[in-house]
Amino acid sequence: MSANEGLQVVWFKRDLRLEDHAPLAAAANGKPTLLLYVFEPELMNDPHYSERHWRFVTQSLLEMNGRLEPLNQRVYILKGSMLEVLDAIHAHNPISNLLSHEETGLRVTYERDKAISTWCRQHRVNWQEYQSNGVKRGRYSRDGWAHDWHRVMSQPLAEPEWAQLLPAEDQQRCLSDYVMESALLKAWSTRDPSHQLGGVGAAQHALESFFDERGKIYHKALSKPLLSRKHCSRLSPYLAWGNLSIRQVYQRLQAERGRSGWGRALSALNSRLHWHCHFIQKFESEDRIEFEPMNFGYHQFQDDHSLANEQAWATGNTGIPYLDACLRCLQNTGYLHFRGRAMIVSALCHLMQGRWQFAARQLAQWFLDFEPGIHYAQIQMQVGLTGINTLRIYNPVKQGLDHDPDAVFIKKWVPELSELPVPLVHTPWELGPIERACMDMNYPDPVIDIAQAHKAARALYWDRRQNPLVRQDINRVLYRHVETRTHLKTQHSNKGELR
C-alpha cells in the first residue's frame, strides 16, 4: 500500500491544540484522517505523573472535541497500549501515514517511540514526526542553536485547512476495547478550583489577560510567592501540555514590542520562552540525565541520604515555615513561583541530605506544568551536577524574610503559626519553652540546623566542583549544551553563597 492510500492518523501527545499544529496542517490534504489521543498505562502508572495531569489533559481534549464537532471531526480518546491501538485500527482500516510531533520525554516514552517506529517499518506505515517548538532532534553541539530558534519562532503558524481535513469513517467498532471509561472522563472534566483549567480557551485567557494588565510587573513578581500568582504569565501548564505553542506566545509578545512601560517585563518573558526550549534541548541531547548526573565526574560520588528528612520535606513538615509554605502551596495548587522552585530543591538536596532523584519524581507529580526536559535539566543545574552552572544554596529563612516579610504567604499555608507575630513566625524555634507551651503550636521543630547544614553543603559541593574528573568533563558539557561564544564564560567562581 502506498502512502497515498489508506488512513491517516494524527497522534496527539503533548500538543493538545488545533492551531499552529504541523501534523494537523499536513493531514489536511483531502484524505481520510483519524485524530487520536491514547491514555497509556505505562505513563499513567509512571511515578512522575498524578491525577492532576490527566485531569488537565482530559479538559483539553474535551474542549478540542467541542470545537471539532461542527467540522464533523473529533479526537478519539482511548486507553491502552499505543501499539495495540495501532494494531486494532490497522486491521480494520489500513494506516498509510502516522503524523505526530516529536516528543522529548521520559525514558518510558522513548522506548515506546522506538517500538512504534519498528511497528511502522514492519507495517509499511510512514511515520512523519514534526519538530516540536524550538527543539531540534539530532544536534551534537549548540553552535547556531539560538539562530535556528529565532528562525523557527518567526515562521508563519502552521494552520490546518479545515475544509481539507476529511473525517475517517467511524472507528468505534474496532476500538471498543480501548475506549476511555466515561465515568473517569466525566470526573476529570470537572474543574478542581485549586488548579488551573486545561484547554486552549483557558490558555488564551491567561495569555490575553497577561498582556492586558497582569504582566506589566512580571519581572518583579518572579520571586514573590503572592505577586507571582497574579502577575506571572501562568502559561507554563499550557505550554507543557501544548494548549499553546511557544511560537504562538513568542509572536504575540513581538506584537507588544515598544509598548510603554513594558520593556523589562517583555524582555523577561522573551528570555523564558528561549530558556524553555534551551532546557528541553539539553534533555533531547542527553536523556540519561533522568537517571544520572550530566557531568560524568559526579558519578564517582555516593552520598548517604536521610529518609526521615525526605519524608518531612514531602509532607511539608520540615519545621522551617517558609519552606513548608512553599511545599504545601505546590502540593495543593500545582504551582509555585520560580525562585521558590529552586529553593525547595536546594533545601532538600543541599541542606537536608535528600536525593535529587527523589526530589525529581516527587516534584514531577506536584508540578501541573511538569515537562520532562525542563524538569530534569533544571534539577541537575540547581543541585549542581553540571559542573558549569553557579552553585546556589538557598537559605529558606532568608528567602522568607526577603520575599514574604509580613508572613502573609506563610500564615496562609502554615496556619499552625497564624497567631505568631512577625518576625518570629519565620523562626518559631526561637520561642522559649514557656512561650511554646502557651501557644500550644502543633508544628514540628526544624529537621536541620540551617547554618550548620549550609556550611557543610558549601564545603562539600565546592570541593566536588574542583574535583579533577568533574573539571575534565566541563568542555564536553559546554560543547553539547552551550553555544561556542559563551564557552569562555565558564563559571569557575562563586563558592555557593547563602541566599
User: Do the Cβ atoms of 171 and 199 come closer than 8 Å?
Assistant: no
Q: What H or E segment, with its residue span, contains residue 184?
A: helix 182-189
Phi–psi pair at 324, nearest 5 degrees: -65, -35
Give the separation between CA 244 and CA 217, rounded to whole angstroms: 22
Was 37 annotated as part of a binding site?
Answer: no
How distant is the alpha carbon of residue 62 from its chain centre?
22
Which set of grid coordinates corresponds to residue 271? 528570555
What's the CA gap between 224 and 219, in Å, rounded? 10
Q: How far apart are CA 268 and CA 264, in angstroms?
A: 6
Q: State phi, psi for 133 to the nearest 5 degrees.
A: 55, -130
- Residue 3 CA to residue 35 CA, distance in Å, equals 17
- How many whole angstroms separate alpha carbon 256 and alpha carbon 263? 9
DSSP structural state of residue 20: S
The total of other beta-carbon atoms located within 10 Å of residue 216's CB is: 18
Nearest-10 Cα torsion for 356, 360, 366, 372: 160
- Using DSSP's 3-state secondary structure scheme, residue 35 falls into strand
Nine-digit cell string for 206: 491567561
Q: Which of 480, 419, 372, 347 is nearest to 103 (CA)?
A: 372
Binding site feature residues: 218
Binding site feature residues for FAD: 218
